[in-house]
Each structure stands twice: as C-alpha cells, then as structure tokens.
Homo-oligomer: A and B are copies of this chain.
Amino acid sequence: MCDGRYVGHLVDARRIQRLDLTGDGACTERPDALAVEEPLTLRVDSVVVTTTMRTPGHDLDLALGWLVAEGCVRHPGDVLTAIACDANTVDVSLGAGVAPPRPRLTMTSSACGVCGSDAVEDVLMRTSRPSADEVVTLDARVMATLPDALRAAQPAFGRTGVLHAAGLFTTAGEPVCVREDVGRHNAVDKVFGWALREDLLPASTYILQVSGRASFELTQKAVLAGVAALSAVSAPSTLAVDVARASGLVLTGFVRGSTMNVYSGGERVHLAPPT
C-alpha cells in the first residue's frame, strides 16, 4: 500500500547568537539544533486537499493519519497507493467506493509542491521590509524580562494551565496589549486586531512576546504586523528562523535565567552593561 521511504530529518542547524547577561554580558556565536518545519501538500486522487506545516519524516503516515481523522479511511484496503512524489508532496489514491475528503485548507496560491522557501517568498510578497527610519534597536536586558512580564499579565493561565498568551510590549518592556487563547495563533491575532484598531500598524517600535514556541505561522503573523521583534519563551523552528531573517525581523527565544538566544537580527539587539 505504501512505499516505505522515510524522507526527511527532524533536526537541522542554524548559526545563532547566545547572549549571557551576567556582569557586562557576553555574546558567542554557535550552531544550534532546531526542529525542522516544512510544508507538506496532500493530494487525494489528484486533488489538493490540504497543505500543512510539518516536520519531515513519516510523511506517508502523516497523510494517511490525516485521512483517518477526516473519517475517510479506516482499513488498509481503503487506500490503493500512497506515494511521496517529491520531498513536499504526498499522492494518495483511494480504493474503489471510498469517498474522498473535502479539501480543508489552502495555504498559498501554489497548487502543490510548495517548499519552505516558497512559503517564505509568499510572506515577503505580502509585506515590505521596514524603512531605515523605522528600524529600532533593542536592549537584550529588556528582552530578557518579557517572558515573566507576559506570565504576570496572564490572568486565566494559572487557573487552567492551558491558555497560550501573546503580548505587545514597548521597547522599554511595558505591556500595551496581552491576550490569551487555547490557540496560540488566535492570541496573536487578537493582539494585532487590537493594534489595527489603535492604528499602530506597522508596529515597528513594538515587540511581540509569545508563550511557547515560534512556528512559521506565528512568525509570519509578526512579520505581517511589522513588529520590531518576536520573542518566544521556547525555541523556534527552522522555517521560523528563515522567514525572520528574510524579513528583517529580530527573533529571540529560550530566555533561561541569565541566557537567551538570538536567532535573527542580532545586529539590532544590544547588550549594554547593566545600568
């Protein structure tokens, strides 16, 4: 039923800056292992039914499992063939009498075979890099305070343990809008919807702090809203770093005690001695 080919890898390296904020501070460059994120397009009987961002590997199982969750297939015989026709596309042929799923999602205008660089290109086409006078520099010691500041401003998290948060902060570290949601992308949308109403877009003098990880989707939203920086509590994916670098977005994360990682835009993150 499937060709057993295992395509892809879970982890890839990007060169990052690691800041140590103790004393006068120090910055070292080093390679960092990041989770790979790339788009996968699923075609069923030649029709594109979904494109999803995923970590490559077990792509045929990903396609089949998606069809299970749609209620489309239940037994091995429901699937005639499942073939990885390139690194980013799986073709499934259903058995006779198996109804195809409804198409679910159209990520970009490409019909199929979208790869990570297409996804980055798609973001660049929908936005413009900040002009020279919009570019701000950021204080690493302020950036390091934002994860705690976000948690402090998150009223419901303590009660449920399940809500993601996103907060817009000034470059001095003051929160101006904090929102919570079960979906991390929704929390970010709620912040930027507020910013639109306040006529703050492009929000080129603000920092977006998010709980959890930085995916391509969240980074794309930060780029489209034009913030100076995206700061994540945890790590970004490869594609989040790639789109941040292509867009001129500062991307930081993994603030742990006195250390933090700068994945993109390091030249705009200053590490001054403590005042």
- Chain A positions within 8 Å of B, measured between CB atoms, are 1-2, 10-11, 33-37, 52-55, 58, 60-71, 73-76, 79, 102-106, 109, 126-127, 155-156, 159-163, 179-183, 185-186, 188-197, 199, 201-202, 213, 215, 220-221, 224-225, 234-237, 254
Contacts and interface: CB of A to CB of B under 8 A. Distances in A.
Contacts of A66: 189, 193
A40 B107 CA distance: 19
Interface of A is mostly: mixed
A246 to B, nearest CB: 15
B75 A179 contact: no
Contacts of A54: 181-183, 186
A224 B69 contact: yes
Contacts of A126: 70-71
A162 B213 contact: yes
5 contacts: A61-B197, A63-B193, A68-B192, A105-B105, A162-B213
Given A69-B224, A75-B196, A103-B106, 17 more contacts: A2-B197, A10-B156, A33-B159, A35-B163, A53-B183, A58-B194, A63-B189, A64-B192, A64-B193, A67-B193, A68-B189, A70-B126, A71-B126, A71-B224, A73-B196, A76-B199, A162-B213
